[in-house]
Amino acid sequence: GGPGQMDIRNAPGKTLSIDHGDYTGDPERLNKSFTCATCGACEIMGTANTFQCLAEVLGICVPGTANIPGWHADKLEAARVTGERVVEMVREGLNARQLLTAAAFDNAVKTAMAIGGSTNTLLHLPAIADSAGVTLPVSRFAEAADVPTLLAVSPNGPWGIQDVWAAGGMPAVLKQLQSLLDTSTTTAMGVPLREVIDAAVVVDPEVIPPLEKAFRPTAGIAILHGNLAPDSCVIKAAGVHESMMVCSGPARCFDSEEEALHAINDDVVQQGEVIVLRYQGPKGSPGMPEMLGATAALKAKGLKRTALVTDGRFSGATSGPCVGHICPEAADGGLIALVQDGDVIAIDIPARRINLAVPQEELQRRREHWRPVEKAVPAGYMRRYRKHVRPACEGAILD
């Protein structure tokens, strides 16, 4: 665990994020020197670092250890302390289920919003909660819409995870968020969260600012609803430029990422369109793969005003107007399955809305002629998975 030493984000003369697609320089030198040059996770607020941060909030790791760089000597000390603490917890009778309470998950939801975390949080956190016997519906995330995006960590802003660690780490982040949290929850040290917060020091308030100086006034993850996603969908609002917070455009539809990639690379997709990438959900794919290829291709082509809407999911490194987890998904007959090229899709992140501007009568006509795209899946686990997996808005958990 912990971030790696360097990536494109903080390479000399480069800009903000690993996935902007607009950096220059010798490709071989960049690849060798500035991309994953050490052990550790991507040095951004992707899925790995999001959940390392949330592990501290949930109380299932030693405070202050989540963001230690993977290459740093402090990692060895953290491993020793962790091992000793595990033995102590066994003797004390303190186990994970006692730490993973409903209040702890509420804290984790708010913190995910504040750090500008990965949209995969809406899959993994409910799944962890389910294993702990706690129900964590998507409505809990929607209710946290007013939590400010405290951190400006790549791909949302200029800082990296190592900057957060050097500025005080997650204890310092939680100190700035304490007015929003239930600080009575128990940590892995057997003490309340408030004691961890009281001992924390904010070393650099520019990186970990107080709430009144947050990076953005609203949550880093936005839950949208509308006729295109009546059960919900999600977007990493912290990574969307202000000019694209409200946008609309004609749809260009694809039933596979390969088709979408060819269209983007061949300049078929135009600036201002809305790519609809469907049958990528838990049942439709099956397995809900990341649409990293499509989002990277959009960045490489400079299509900054082209949105992407999918029932699949995204990499934690994704930024821009990319809406995922459309529920119901296409394989379940969701409205996304009925969208046709040229239909206008409107996305309004501040209003938390996403709508398809097609008359109800026309949608009914299309539904009467609709047949789902069923991908061939060999007999075995994946076929059972497709039959028993829950929707993305319920964490894509197996029954």
Q: Are residues 165 and 231 in the same domain?
A: no
Task: Give the end of a domain, one of 213, 238, 269.
Answer: 213
Q: Residue 72 pLDDT > 80, yes or no?
A: yes
With bands split at pLDDT 50, 70 and 90, how would you rate the model's confidence at 399? confident
Q: In this structure, is residue 281 part of a structural domain? A: yes
Mean pLDDT of 371-391: 93
Mean pLDDT of 253-265: 96
Q: In this structure, is residue 3 part of a structural domain? A: no
Task: Give the end of a domain, one of 213, 237, 261.
Answer: 213
Q: What whole-number percentage of the chain has pLDDT above 90?
A: 82
Say how far apart CA 135 and CA 138 lie, in whole Å: 10
**pLDDT of the residue at 36:** 60
* DSSP 3-state of 27: helix
Q: Which residue type, as a one-letter code, is found at position 125? A: L
In the residue annotation, 315 being an active-site residue is answered as yes
Q: Are residues 27 and 170 in the same domain?
A: yes
Question: Domain total for the chain?
Answer: 2
118, 154, 285, 315: the catalytic one is 315
Q: Residue 32 pLDDT > 70, yes or no?
A: no
Say how far apart CA 107 and CA 187 lie, in whole Å: 12
Q: Are residues 238 and 176 in the same domain?
A: no
Q: Residue 33 pLDDT > 60, yes or no?
A: no
Q: In this structure, is residue 163 part of a structural domain? A: yes
Q: Residue 18 pLDDT > 80, yes or no?
A: no
Q: Are residues 86 and 179 in the same domain?
A: yes
Mean pLDDT (the chain) is: 92
Lowest mean pLDDT segment, chosen from 119-133, 267-281, 316-330 = 316-330
**pLDDT of the residue at 181:** 99
Q: Are residues 287 and 196 in the same domain?
A: no
Q: In this structure, is residue 2 part of a structural domain? A: no
Query: How buried is residue 87: exposed, middle or buried, by Cβ count under 10 Å (0-12/13-18/19+)?
Result: exposed
Give Cα 109 distance to the centre of its chain. Answer: 12
**pLDDT of the residue at 319:** 81
DSSP β-ladder status, 222-226 and 229-235: antiparallel
Q: Are residues 227 and 177 in the same domain?
A: no
Query: How buried is residue 217: exposed, middle or buried, by Cβ count under 10 Å (0-12/13-18/19+)?
Result: exposed
DSSP β-ladder status, 229-235 and 322-327: antiparallel
| H-run or E-run covering 393 | none
The whole domain housing 126 covers: 8-213
CB atoms within 10 A of CB 243: 10
Q: Residue 20 pLDDT > 80, yes or no?
A: no
**pLDDT of the residue at 53:** 97
Mean pLDDT of 294-305: 93
Q: Where are the alpha helices (DSSP H) in 39-73?
A: 47-58
Q: Residue 385 pLDDT > 90, yes or no?
A: yes
Nearest to 347 by CA among 221, 220, 218, 224: 224
Q: Residue 23 pLDDT > 70, yes or no?
A: no
Q: Are residues 158 and 254 in the same domain?
A: no
DSSP β-ladder status, 307-310 and 222-226: unpaired
| H-run or E-run covering 90 | helix 74-92
E strands, 278-365, are 307-310, 322-327, 344-348, 353-356
**pLDDT of the residue at 94:** 97
Q: Are residues 163 and 229 in the same domain?
A: no
- Sole residue written with tokens 């993305």: 392
Task: Give the end of a domain, one of 168, 194, 213.
Answer: 213
Q: In this structure, is residue 399 part of a structural domain? A: no
- At 135-189, the pLDDT tens digits run 999 999 999 999 999 999 988 999 999 999 999 999 999 999 999 999 999 999 9
**pLDDT of the residue at 21:** 46
Q: In this structure, is residue 352 part of a structural domain? A: yes
Q: Are residues 203 and 231 in the same domain?
A: no
CA atoms in the 13 A half-sphere facing the CB of 298: 26
Q: Are residues 193 and 226 in the same domain?
A: no
Say how far apart CA 53 and CA 208 lie, in whole Å: 14
- At 74-94, the pLDDT tens digits run 999 999 999 999 999 999 999
**pLDDT of the residue at 7:** 55
Q: Are residues 129 and 161 in the same domain?
A: yes
Q: Residue 15 pLDDT > 90, yes or no?
A: no
Q: In this structure, is residue 1 part of a structural domain? A: no
CATH label of the domain that carries residue 230: 3.50.30.80
With bands split at pLDDT 50, 70 and 90, how would you rate the model's confidence at 358? very high
**pLDDT of the residue at 11:** 45
Q: Residue 194 pLDDT > 70, yes or no?
A: yes
Give Cα 347 distance to the centre of its chain. Answer: 18
Q: In this structure, is residue 169 part of a structural domain? A: yes
Q: Are residues 245 and 201 in the same domain?
A: no
